[in-house]
Amino acid sequence: MPDRHIEFTTDKRFVRRRTEVKTIEAMVHMYCGHHHGPQAPCTECAELLAYAQRRLERCVFGDAKPACAKCVVHCYNAAMRERVRVVMRWAGPRMLARHPVLAVRHLLAERRPIPRMPVKRKRASEPPKPPKPPKPLD
Ligand SMILES: [Zn+2]
């Protein structure tokens, strides 16, 4: 039997992260439209958006994820983290007026319990491995 595939962006099993994709999309569009001209999103903002979506797709917590700002895992690289922070700081307070449903959902998301960092289980038989250098995120 062939494997069945479901789409991250449309399947209701991913409803939380799908909503978050919509939220960041709305925020980047508002920010870019205001700062970079009417052709939002511009190339740079589209890149930021693609990056944010990829991070959401690969979130280790899946749909149990906390609001990104409260997360203990820092999955953004430093440059992207700074860029998304600037967008959110500007667009955040404007969301309630422009996208009230998304804004309220996000406020509720911020009250979700915050999962701890996932811990890798060690097997007693395994010899200790030398620490790996941290991998840069794409
Ligand atoms: Zn832009």
- Extract long-range pairs of 84-91: CB within 8 Å, 24+ residues apart: 84/24, 84/48, 84/52, 86/31, 87/27, 87/28, 87/31, 87/45, 87/48, 88/27, 90/30, 90/31, 90/34, 90/35, 91/26, 91/27, 91/28, 91/30, 91/31
What's residue 97's pLDDT? Answer: 94
53 with 21: CB under 8 angstroms?
A: yes
Pick 124 or 87 by higher pLDDT: 87
* Confidence grade of residue 86 (pLDDT, cut at 50, 70, 90): very high
Kindly give the distance from the C-alpha atom of residue 28 to the centroid of ligand 1, in angstroms, as a whole number.
7
Kindly give the distance from the C-alpha atom of residue 33 to the centroid of ligand 1, in angstroms, as a whole number.
7
- Please say if the pLDDT value at position 44 is more than 80: yes
- Please say if the pLDDT value at position 26 is more than 90: yes
Kindly give the distance from the C-alpha atom of residue 20 to the centroid of ligand 1, in angstroms, as a whole number.
19
- Please say if the pLDDT value at position 29 is more than 90: yes
Kindly give the distance from the C-alpha atom of residue 102 to the centroid of ligand 1, in angstroms, as a whole number.
21
Kindly give the distance from the C-alpha atom of residue 64 to the centroid of ligand 1, in angstroms, as a whole number.
30
Chain centroid to CA 79:
15
43 with 4: CB under 8 angstroms?
A: no
- Please say if the pLDDT value at position 107 is more than 70: yes
Pick 110 or 13 by higher pLDDT: 110
Q: In 3D, which of 24, 73, 70, 72 has the Cα closest to residue 51?
A: 24
Kindly give the distance from the C-alpha atom of residue 25 to the centroid of ligand 1, in angstroms, as a whole number.
12
- Please say if the pLDDT value at position 7 is more than 80: no
The CA dihedral of 103, 107, 108, 111, to the nearest 10 degrees, is: 160
d(CA 104, CA 94): 12
Kindly give the distance from the C-alpha atom of residue 42 to the centroid of ligand 1, in angstroms, as a whole number.
4
Kindly give the distance from the C-alpha atom of residue 8 to the centroid of ligand 1, in angstroms, as a whole number.
25
- pLDDT averaged over every residue in the chain: 85
Kindly give the distance from the C-alpha atom of residue 68 to the centroid of ligand 1, in angstroms, as a whole number.
21
Q: Containing H/E element for 111?
A: none
Does the N-terminal peptide bond of residue 41 adopt cis geometry, omega within 30 degrees of 0?
A: yes
- Please say if the pLDDT value at position 127 is more than 90: no
**Minimum mean pLDDT among 23-27, 55-59, 108-112, 124-128: which range?**
124-128
